[in-house]
Amino acid sequence: MSNPFEDPEGTYLVLVNQNRQHSLWPEHLEPPQGWTVAHGADGYQASLDYIEEHWRDLSPQPTAGH
């Protein structure tokens, strides 16, 4: 079985957490707690392109109250 996180033929979601970090996530898997869908089901490359366009700062952002 191939890695579901790196399947060029797969369908993915782009998730974002409270620190505005982005993650590529296979559509068929439940997103982990604390992450929300920022970009709906799309192809592998289109999802990577979305992350590239929308996530400029790779360092974690401070959360409110911290």
Output the pTM of the full model: 0.80
User: With 80 as the cut, is the pLDDT of residue 63 above it?
Assistant: no
Q: What does the pLDDT read at residue 3?
A: 85
Residue 24: name the closest of 34, 33, 11, 63 by CA: 11
Amino acid at 29: L
Residue 59 pLDDT class (50, 70, 90 cuts): low
Number of domains in the chain: 1
Average pLDDT for 9-24: 95
User: In terms of pLDDT, which residue wins out, 57 or 31?
Assistant: 31
As a whole number, mean pLDDT of residues 1-16 equals 89
1 within domain boundaries: no
What are the angstrom distances between the C-alpha of 49 and each of 14, 21, 44, 62? 10, 15, 9, 25
Residue 37 structural domain: 11-54
Q: Is residue 4 part of a domain?
A: no
Sort strands 22-26 and 11-17 into parallel, antiparallel or unpaired: antiparallel
5 falls within a domain: no
Residue 30, domain CATH = 3.90.820.10
